[in-house]
C-alpha cells in the first residue's frame, strides 16, 4: 500500500514538475518576446548561403611581358619577362593595414633575374586629427607617377626626366611618412612629410636621410572634370657628399563623364622637376619634365602621347628630348596589351645609347593579373 | 612660442572636429541607400551619396574629394558584398576616420540579412566578372529595401540612441509604404508574369524574381565582357523564337548593341533605372519602382 502511495505521490510530483517546466518555458518565451520588443523587433535574418570566409590577405601576381626594339647599336631586339610582382594586402587589426609588394625582374640584356622588396609598409587607420602614418619601405610621395606601379601606368617606358633624376625604379626608401588631411571644406588638400633612407637612385645617396614634403591639392571642376596640383620639395645628400634639393610641380586635368566613365576619358598630366645640386666645385641647376595626353577612344582602346625633356642631376647642358605614342588595348581589368614607339634626340650623345644623337625605340607590353589586386589611386 | 603654436593648432583641430553639431553626417555609396537613409533619418541626418544614380556602381572613380566627405562622416552605408570592392576600401582607408571603418559602430553593411541569389560554388574568372558572395544588385527588390532600411536604422540607433523612437517610427512608415506600394506594383505587373525579356548585364535577378519576369539571356556574353557580334546573332534568334518584346538595359551602357537587336527584331530597348537619380523624376526609392514598372508594364502590353 505504502508502495502504491509512493508511486502516486511521485507521479503527481512529476506531473507538477512537468507543468512547472512548461510554465517556465512559457514565461521564458514571453520574456524573450518582451526583450525582442524592447530591442525594436529586430528581425531574425534569414539563413545565408555559405561563403568561404578567409583570413588570408588579398593575394595577386602580376606578369609584365615585353618585346623591345632599339635602333641604336647592333643588338636590336629583346623579349623579356620584365617583371613578376607578388602583392599581399590586408588589414592587420582594427588599427592598421599592411601592403607587401615583392618583385622579381629580368634584365633584358643578360637574362639574369634580380628580386627585391618593392614595397612593404603598414598604414595606420586610427590616428586622431586626420593624420595617417606609413612606416616601412615605400615609394616616395613625389609627383604623380612615382607612387604608381609601372603595370598601372598608361605608358610602357618611364619618362626620360624620371629615369635621369630618380632611375628606372623611381624614388623609394625605408622610413616614415606622415600625412595630414587638411580640414579644408572647399577642396581636398593633403600634406605629407617623409623621412627615409633612400634606395639607389641618380640624385640622392643612402648615406643621409632624405626629407620630403608634399602638398596635394584636388578640385572637382564639375561632375565630370577634376584638377590636381601637387607641390613637392626634397632635400638629401648627393654622390659628392653635399646637399641636393629637388622641387617638383605636377598638374593633372582629367575629364571622365560620370555616366559613361568606362567608355570615354581624357587625361592631361604634367610633371616638372627642378634640381639644385651642390657639387664639389660648382652648383648645378637643372630640370626635366614630361607632358602626357591620354585619350580613351572606346571602352577598350587608349591612345597616349608624351613629350619628354630632360637634363641630368649633374648637368644642365645635356638635353634629351623625345616624343612617344602608345596604343593600349584593355581586355578586362586583369589584362592589357600595349604597343609604343619613341623617337629620341640627345645633344651630347652618351655611351648608353651607343653615342647616337637620334634613335628610335619600340615597345610591346602584355600585363596580366591573377588574384585579388587592390584599387589604384585616382 | 612652439608650445603656443601647438596649443593653437590643437584648439583649431578640436573645434573643426567638433563642429558637426546635432546633425548626423551620413555618407552612402549609392543614391538608393541615400534615399532610404533620408527616409529613416529625417531631419536628423545629412546624407551624401558617392555614386551618381546614372553611374555604374562597380566602376566609381575614387576621387580624393570623396575622402574629405568620408573624413567627416558619422555613418558610412555600403551596399556591401563586392559591389563597391573596386573603390570603397581604398576610400575608407584614406578617410582616416575610425568611426566608420569596418567593425566600427558607424559602419553599416546594408546587405546583412538579405537572402542572396546566384551565390557561386566556385570562382573562375573565365566566366567573366563573377561576384564572390552572390549577385550584389539586391536593392532592386523592394522587399530587400526593407532589410536595407532595418540595417540603416540599426546604424543610426547605434550612434544616436536618443533618437531611437524617431528612427523606428520612420522605419515603420517606410515598411508600411513598401508594403502598400508593393500591392500596386504587383497589380501593374499582374498581367505580365513569366514575360520573357533580354537584359544587357546580369543585374536584374532580384527585380526579375520579385515581379515575375523571365530573363532569357544577356547582351554581354559573360558578365563584364562587352557584347560580341556572335552573341548578338544568338540574341536576335532568341528574341525571334520567343517573341520577346523588351530588352532591358541601364543608363551607363551604350545603346549601340541593343539598337542592333531592336532594329533586327522590333523588340523595344528600355533603359530602366538601376538607382535613384538615374533620371530626374526618380527622387526617392519608391520612385525607382514606380518609374521602372510603369515603363515595363507599358511596353510589355
CA dist., res. A312 & res. A166, Å (int): 10
Full pLDDT tens readout for chain A, 378 residues: 445 545 444 444 444 444 444 444 445 555 655 555 555 443 344 445 455 566 789 899 999 999 999 999 999 999 999 999 999 999 898 899 999 999 999 988 888 999 999 999 999 988 999 999 999 999 999 999 999 999 999 999 999 999 999 998 899 999 999 999 999 889 999 999 999 999 888 999 998 999 999 999 999 999 999 999 999 999 999 999 999 999 999 999 999 999 999 999 999 999 999 999 998 889 999 999 999 999 999 999 999 999 999 999 999 999 999 999 999 999 988 999 999 999 999 999 999 999 999 999 999 999 999 988 776 777
CA distance B191 to chain A (A): 30
Burial of A12 (0-12, 13-18, 19+ CB in 10 A): exposed
Q: Which residues of B touch A224 (CB under 8 A)?
A: none
Q: Is B25 found in the same domain as B171? A: yes
A43, A259, A377: which to substitute to probe chain B, counting the most B Cβ within 10 Å? A259
**SS3 letters for chain B?**
CHHHHHHHHHHHHHHHHCCCCCCEEEEECCHHHHHHHHHHHHHHEEEEECCCCCCCCCCCCCCHHHHHHHHCCCEEEECCCCCCCCCHHHHHHHCCCCCCCCCCCCEEECCCCCCCCCCCCCCCHHHCCCCCCCCCCHHHCHHHHHHHHHHHHHHHHHHCHHHHHHHHHHHHHHHHHHHHHHHHHHHHHHHHCCCEEEECCCCCHHHHHHHCCEEEEECCCCCCCCCCHHHHHHHHHHHHHHCCCEEEECCCCCCHHHHHHHHHHCCEEEECCCCCCCCCCCCCHHHHHHHHHHHHHHHHC
Residue B266 maps to a domain: yes
Residue A72 maps to a domain: no
CA distance A372 to chain B (A): 10
> Could you tell me the three cell numbers for B190?
499582374
CA distance A349 to chain B (A): 43
pLDDT digits (tens, 9 = 90+) for B231-252: 999 999 999 999 999 999 999 9
Residue B16 maps to a domain: no
> Could you tell me the pLDDT band of residue B158, with boundaries at 50, 70 and 90?
very high
Tell me which of B154, B182, B210 is where a domain ends: B182
Domain CATH code at residue A231 = 2.40.160.10
B50, B72, B93: which to substitute to probe chain A, counting the most A Cβ within 10 Å? B93
Q: Is B170 found in the same domain as B256? A: no
Q: Do B96 and A130 touch (CB under 8 A)?
A: yes
Q: Is B242 found in the same domain as B151? A: no
CA distance A54 to chain B (A): 12
Q: Is B110 found in the same domain as B90? A: yes
State residue A14's pLDDT score: 44
Q: Do A40 and B164 touch (CB under 8 A)?
A: yes
pLDDT digits (tens, 9 = 90+) for B5-44: 555 555 444 444 444 458 999 999 999 999 999 999 999 9
Residue B3 maps to a domain: no
State residue A258's pLDDT score: 92
Residue A52 maps to a domain: no
Residue A192 maps to a domain: yes
Residue A15 maps to a domain: no
The answer to whether B249 touches B219, Cβ cutoff 8 Å, is yes
Which residues are bridge partners to A63 per DSSP?
Answer: A84, A368
Q: Is B170 found in the same domain as B208? A: no
State residue A105's pLDDT score: 92
- pTM of the shown model: 0.84
Q: Do A258 and B54 touch (CB under 8 A)?
A: yes
**Which residues in A211-226 are b (16+ Cβ under 10 Å) and which e?**
ebebebbbeeeeebeb
Residue carrying the nine cell digits 615597345 = A363
Cα dihedral A212, A213, A216, A217, rounded to 10, equals -150
Q: Which residues of B touch A91 (CB under 8 A)?
A: 102
At residue A118's C-alpha, the angle toward residues B124 and A269, to 5°, is: 85
Tell me which of B130, B159, B182 is where a domain ends: B182
Residue A346 maps to a domain: yes
Q: Which residues of B touch A94 (CB under 8 A)?
A: 98, 101, 103-104
Q: Do A378 and B13 touch (CB under 8 A)?
A: no
The total number of structural domains in chain A stands at 1
State residue A24's pLDDT score: 45
Candidates B61, B115, B116; nearest CB to A261: B61
Q: Do A127 and B87 touch (CB under 8 A)?
A: no
Burial of A30 (0-12, 13-18, 19+ CB in 10 A): exposed
CA dist., res. B77 & res. B50, Å (int): 10
Q: Is B166 found in the same domain as B200? A: no
Residue B120 maps to a domain: yes
**SS3 letters for chain A?**
CHHHHHHHHHHHHHHHHHHHHHHHHHHHHHHHHHHHHHCCCCCCCCCCCCCCCCCCCEEEEEEEEEEEEECCCCCCEEEEEEEEEEEEEEEEECCEEEEEEEEEEECCCCCCEEEEEEEEEEEECCCCCCEEEEEEEEECCCCCCCCCCHHHCCCCCCCHHHHHHHCCCCCEEEEEEEEEECCCCCCEEEEEEEEEEECCCCCCCCCCCEEEEEEEEEEECCCCEEEEEEEEEEEEECCCCCEEEEEEEEEEEEECCCCCCCCCEEEEEEEEEEEEEECCCCEEEEEEEEEEEEEECCCCEEEEEEEEEEEECCEEEEEEEEEEEEEEEEEECCEEEEEEEEEEEECCCCHHHCCCCEEEEEEEEEEEEEECCCCCCC
Q: Which residues of A touch B52 (CB under 8 A)?
A: 223, 258-259
Higher pLDDT, A280 or B58: B58
Please name the residue of chain B whose CA is at the shortest distance from the CA of residue A220. B65
Q: Which residues of B touch A46 (CB under 8 A)?
A: 113, 115
B61, B64, B88, B136: which to substitute to probe chain A, counting the most A Cβ within 10 Å? B64
Q: Do A188 and B168 touch (CB under 8 A)?
A: no
Residue B13 maps to a domain: no
Range of the domain at A143: 127-366
Q: Which residues 6+ apart lie within 8 Å of B97 measured at CB?
A: B70, B71, B72, B73
Q: Which residues 6+ apart lie within 8 Å of B300 measured at CB?
A: B191, B192, B195, B245, B246
Which residues are bridge partners to A90 per DSSP?
Answer: A98
Tell me which of B164, B182, B200 is where a domain ends: B182
Q: Which residues 6+ apart lie within 8 Å of A122 measured at CB?
A: A92, A96, A97, A98, A99, A134, A135, A136
Q: Is B260 found in the same domain as B130? A: no
Residue B8 maps to a domain: no
Q: Is B118 found in the same domain as B243? A: no
Q: Is B178 found in the same domain as B38? A: yes
CA dist., res. B21 & res. B162, Å (int): 15
The total number of structural domains in chain B stands at 2
> Could you tell me the pLDDT band of residue B124, with boundaries at 50, 70 and 90?
confident
Q: Which residues of A touch B13 (CB under 8 A)?
A: 129-130, 183
Range of the domain at B76: 21-182
Q: Is B136 found in the same domain as B243? A: no
Q: Do B89 and A220 touch (CB under 8 A)?
A: no
Q: Do A183 and B87 touch (CB under 8 A)?
A: no
Residue B211 maps to a domain: yes
Residue B29 maps to a domain: yes
Q: Which residues of B touch A54 (CB under 8 A)?
A: none
CA distance A106 to chain B (A): 28
CA dist., res. A246 & res. A285, Å (int): 10
Neighbours of B245 (CB within 10 A): 19
Q: Is B151 found in the same domain as B39? A: yes
Domain CATH code at residue B84 = 3.40.50.1980
Long-range contacts at A344-347 (CB < 8 A, ≥ 24 apart): A344/A160, A344/A320, A345/A320, A345/A321, A346/A318, A346/A319, A346/A320, A346/A321, A347/A317, A347/A318, A347/A319, A347/A320
A38, A183, A256, A377: which to substitute to probe chain B, counting the most B Cβ within 10 Å? A183
State residue A33's pLDDT score: 52
**For chain B, what percent of residues have pLDDT higher than 70?**
93
Q: Which residues of B touch A134 (CB under 8 A)?
A: none
> Could you tell me the three cell numbers for B37?
537613409
Q: Do B62 and A332 touch (CB under 8 A)?
A: no
Q: Which residues of A touch B98 (CB under 8 A)?
A: 94, 125-126
Amino acid at each position: 500500500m505504502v508502495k502504491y502511495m509512493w508511486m502516486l505521490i511521485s507521479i503527481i510530483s512529476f506531473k507538477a514538475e512537468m507543468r512547472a517546466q512548461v510554465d517556465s518555458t512559457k514565461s521564458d518565451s514571453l520574456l524573450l518576446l518582451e526583450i525582442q520588443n524592447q530591442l525594436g523587433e529586430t528581425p531574425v535574418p534569414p539563413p545565408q548561403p555559405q561563403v568561404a570566409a578567409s583570413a588570408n590577405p588579398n593575394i595577386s601576381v602580376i606578369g609584365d611581358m615585353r618585346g623591345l626594339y632599339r635602333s641604336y647599336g647592333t643588338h636590336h631586339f629583346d623579349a623579356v619577362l620584365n617583371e613578376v610582382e607578388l602583392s599581399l594586402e590586408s588589414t592587420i587589426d582594427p588599427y592598421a593595414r599592411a601592403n607587401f609588394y615583392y618583385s622579381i625582374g629580368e634584365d633584358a640584356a643578360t637574362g639574369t633575374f634580380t628580386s627585391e622588396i618593392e614595397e612593404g609598409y603598414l598604414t595606420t587607420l586610427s590616428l586622431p586629427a586626420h593624420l595617417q602614418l606609413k612606416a616601412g619601405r615605400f615609394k616616395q610621395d613625389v609627383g604623380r607617377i612615382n607612387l604608381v606601379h609601372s603595370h598601372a601606368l598608361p605608358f610602357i617606358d618611364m619618362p626620360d626626366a624620371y629615369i635621369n633624376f630618380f632611375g628606372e625604379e623611381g624614388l623609394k626608401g625605408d622610413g616614415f611618412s606622415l600625412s595630414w588631411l587638411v580640414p579644408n571644406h572647399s577642396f581636398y588638400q593633403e600634406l605629407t612629410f617623409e623621412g627615409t633612407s633612400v634606395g639607389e637612385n641618380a640624385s640622392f645617396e643612402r648615406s643621409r636621410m632624405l626629407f620630403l614634403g608634399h602638398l596635394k591639392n584636388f578640385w572637382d571642376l564639375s561632375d565630370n572634370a577634376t584638377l590636381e596640383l601637387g607641390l613637392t620639395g626634397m632635400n638629401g645628400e648627393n654622390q659628392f657628399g653635399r646637399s641636393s634639393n629637388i622641387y617638383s610641380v605636377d598638374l593633372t586635368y582629367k575629364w571622365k563623364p560620370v555616366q559613361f566613365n568606362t567608355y570615354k576619358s581624357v587625361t592631361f598630366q604634367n610633371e616638372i622637376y627642378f634640381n639644385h645640386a651642390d657639387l664639389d666645385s660648382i652648383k648645378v641647376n637643372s630640370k626635366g619634365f614630361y607632358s602626357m595626353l591620354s585619350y580613351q577612344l572606346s571602352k577598350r582602346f587608349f591612345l597616349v602621347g608624351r613629350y619628354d625633356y630632360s637634363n641630368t642631376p649633374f648637368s644642365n647642358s645635356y638635353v634629351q628630348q623625345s616624343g612617344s605614342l602608345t596604343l593600349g588595348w584593355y581586355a578586362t581589368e586583369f589584362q592589357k596589351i600595349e604597343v609604343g614607339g619613341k623617337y629620341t634626340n640627345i645633344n651630347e650623345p652618351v655611351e648608353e645609347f651607343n653615342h647616337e644623337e637620334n634613335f628610335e625605340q619600340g615597345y610591346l607590353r602584355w600585363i596580366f593579373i591573377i588574384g585579388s589586386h587592390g584599387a589604384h589611386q585616382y | 612660442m612652439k608650445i603656443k603654436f601647438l596649443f593653437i593648432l590643437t584648439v583649431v583641430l578640436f573645434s573643426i572636429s567638433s563642429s558637426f553639431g546635432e546633425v548626423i553626417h551620413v555618407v552612402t555609396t549609392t543614391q538608393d541607400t541615400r534615399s532610404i537613409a533620408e527616409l529613416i533619418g529625417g531631419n536628423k541626418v545629412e546624407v551624401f551619396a558617392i555614386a551618381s544614380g546614372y553611374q555604374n556602381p562597380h566602376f566609381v572613380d575614387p576621387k580624393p574629394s570623396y575622402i574629405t566627405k568620408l573624413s567627416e562622416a558619422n555613418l558610412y552605408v555600403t551596399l556591401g558584398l563586392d559591389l563597391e570592392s573596386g573603390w570603397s576600401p581604398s576610400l575608407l582607408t584614406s578617410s582616416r576616420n575610425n568611426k566608420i571603418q569596418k567593425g566600427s559602430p558607424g559602419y553599416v553593411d546594408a546587405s546583412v540579412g538579405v537572402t542572396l541569389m546566384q551565390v557561386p560554388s566556385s570562382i573562375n574568372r573565365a566566366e567573366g566578372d563573377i561576384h564572390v558572395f552572390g549577385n550584389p544588385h539586391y536593392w532592386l527588390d523592394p522587399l530587400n529595401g526593407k532589410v536595407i532600411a532595418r540595417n540603416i536604422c540599426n546604424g543610426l540607433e547605434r550612434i544616436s540612441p536618443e533618437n531611437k523612437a524617431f528612427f523606428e517610427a520612420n522605419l515603420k512608415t517606410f515598411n508600411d509604404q513598401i508594403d502598400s506600394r508593393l500591392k500596386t506594383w504587383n497589380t501593374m505587373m499582374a498581367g505580365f508574369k513569366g514575360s520573357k525579356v533580354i537584359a544587357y548585364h546580369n543585374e536584374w535577378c532580384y527585380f526579375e524574381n520579385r515581379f515575375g519576369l523571365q530573363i532569357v539571356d544577356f547582351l554581354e556574353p559573360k558578365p563584364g565582357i562587352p557584347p560580341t557580334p556572335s552573341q548578338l546573332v544568338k540574341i536576335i534568334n532568341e528574341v525571334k523564337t520567343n517573341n520577346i518584346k523588351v530588352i532591358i538595359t541601364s543608363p551607363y551602357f551604350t545603346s549601340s548593341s541593343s539598337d542592333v537587336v531592336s532594329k533586327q527584331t522590333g523588340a523595344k530597348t528600355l533603359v530602366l533605372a538601376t538607382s535613384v537619380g538615374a533620371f530626374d523624376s526618380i527622387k526617392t526609392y519608391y520612385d525607382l519602382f514606380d518609374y521602372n514598372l510603369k515603363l515595363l508594364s507599358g511596353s510589355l502590353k
